[in-house]
């Protein structure tokens, strides 16, 4: 086994569909994965229910065993071939029904926790290019490398084969780790990604032209998308049920803050409690609803200003403000600066 066994991540969970992709790849390598499931304390019965989740620690331990056993130096990369809509749970179907890639990426940032806590994606826009970045949470060096290649490879395969998006606009792939020792393996990267791959980068992600963000997607279905988003919100609420109430409220607000300001009553209903009970629970954690709402609005405002080309009026709309001037006033109150001067300084 490669790497430091003690360095396993210990936070979060992974969905069963995300795990199955690796198991399918192991089978094609002739690996009997059942003994490795046992060694990682994962009961085989969990694989029968795609709604189940396993700990990140268990998944990382399993991959640390499967990867060497596969004798495939590109195990993670090759496992991308087994991606399918169900691999991303409901998020896979959400992405297929969005109107543009921009909308897809915005929803990915919100709902990717449904797939698991293996990493966090973010969209960085600079000089006419977008870097759709993925920051892996695994700490085991070998697992981390293969997980990054799996995720980016899966994105590329999924977009090409299921979302039916022409990937010719992809400029290149960034990988934070070094190239494989065997130069012949670079052909495998070309086969999966279909574009240039740059190693030893500052981050890992897919780089493409900004104009690609607003290309209409052929399978967009607004009505179905709304139903899927409602279902995804319910799933996230269930996933977060053991989190502190402040975290649960923040997660819901990130989903609900668009075009309108959610009331404490609306949030409380989603948490199956009264508004009075919600306020009491928040008070026990040393905060209140309006404070949490302001914190989420500031967090999202800074993200939109720093990472998107949305106008300040559009950002106000995204944050649920009825009037843009209310957003401008709030931003200055929170930061001591105007939103315009803040954006000018980072331009």
Query: Do 44 and 5 meet the contact criterion of CB atoms below 8 Å apart?
Result: no
CA–CA distance from 118 to each of 75, 138, 143, 236, 252 (Å)?
Answer: 17, 6, 11, 16, 21
Distance CA 268, CA 240 (A): 14
Chain segment 50-68, per-residue pLDDT in tens: 989 999 999 999 999 999 9
Weakest-pLDDT range from 126-130, 145-149, 183-187, 234-238:
234-238
Res. 6: pLDDT tops 50: no
| Domains, the chain | 5-214 (3.90.1520), 240-346 (1.10.10.60)
> What pairs with residue 116 in β-bridges?
14
Q: Is 116 left (phi over 0), alpha (psi -120 to 50) or beta?
A: left
Which of 339, 291, 297 lies closest to 320 in space, CA to CA? 297
Percent of the chain with pLDDT over 70: 95
Question: Which whole number is the average pLDDT over 27-46?
Answer: 97
How many other β-carbons are positioned within 10 Å of the β-carbon of residue 20?
Answer: 16
Q: What does 158-215 look like in DSSP terms, one character per residue?
A: HHHHTS---GGGEEEEE-SSPPPSSGGGHHHHHHHH-SEEE-S-SS-EEEEEGGGGGP
Chain segment 260-289, per-residue pLDDT in tens: 789 999 999 888 899 999 999 999 999 999
What dihedral do alpha carbons 45, 46, 47, 53 form, nearest 10°?
A: 180
């Amino acid at each position: 086994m490669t790497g430091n066994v003690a360095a396993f991540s210990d936070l979060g969970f992974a969905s069963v569909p995300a795990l199955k992709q690796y198991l399918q790849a192991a089978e094609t390598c002739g690996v009997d994965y059942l003994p490795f499931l046992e060694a990682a304390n994962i009961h085989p019965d969990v694989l029968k229910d795609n709604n189940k989740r396993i700990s990140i620690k268990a998944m990382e331990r399993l991959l640390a065993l499967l990867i060497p056993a596969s004798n495939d130096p590109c195990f993670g990369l090759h496992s991308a071939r087994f991606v399918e809509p169900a691999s991303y749970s409901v998020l896979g179907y959400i992405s297929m029904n969005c109107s543009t890639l921009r909308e897809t990426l915005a929803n990915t940032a919100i709902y990717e926790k449904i797939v698991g806590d293996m990493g966090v994606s973010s969209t960085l826009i600079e000089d006419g290019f977008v870097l759709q970045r993925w920051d892996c949470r695994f700490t085991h060096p070998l697992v981390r490398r293969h997980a990054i290649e799996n995720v980016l490879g899966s994105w590329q395969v999924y977009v090409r084969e299921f979302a039916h998006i022409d990937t010719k606009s992809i400029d290149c792939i960034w990988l934070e780790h070094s190239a494989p020792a065997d130069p012949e393996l670079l052909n495998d990267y070309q086969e999966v990604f279909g574009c240039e791959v740059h190693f030893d980068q500052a981050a890992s992600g897919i780089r493409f032209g900004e104009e690609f963000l607003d290309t209409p997607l052929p399978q967009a279905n607004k009505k179905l998308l709304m139903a899927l988003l409602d279902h995804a919100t319910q799933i996230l609420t269930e996933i977060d049920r053991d989190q502190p109430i402040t975290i649960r409220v923040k997660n819901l607000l990130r989903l609900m803050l668009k075009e309108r300001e959610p009331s404490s009553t609306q949030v409380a209903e989603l948490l199956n409690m009264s508004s009075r009970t919600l306020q009491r629970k928040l008070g026990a954690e040393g905060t209140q609803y309006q404070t949490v709402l302001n914190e989420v609005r500031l967090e999202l405002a800074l993200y939109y200003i720093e990472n998107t080309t949305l106008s300040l009026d559009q950002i106000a709309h995204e944050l649920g403000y009825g009037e843009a001037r209310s957003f401008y006033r709030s931003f200055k109150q929170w930061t001591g600066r105007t939103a315009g001067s803040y954006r000018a300084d980072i331009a």
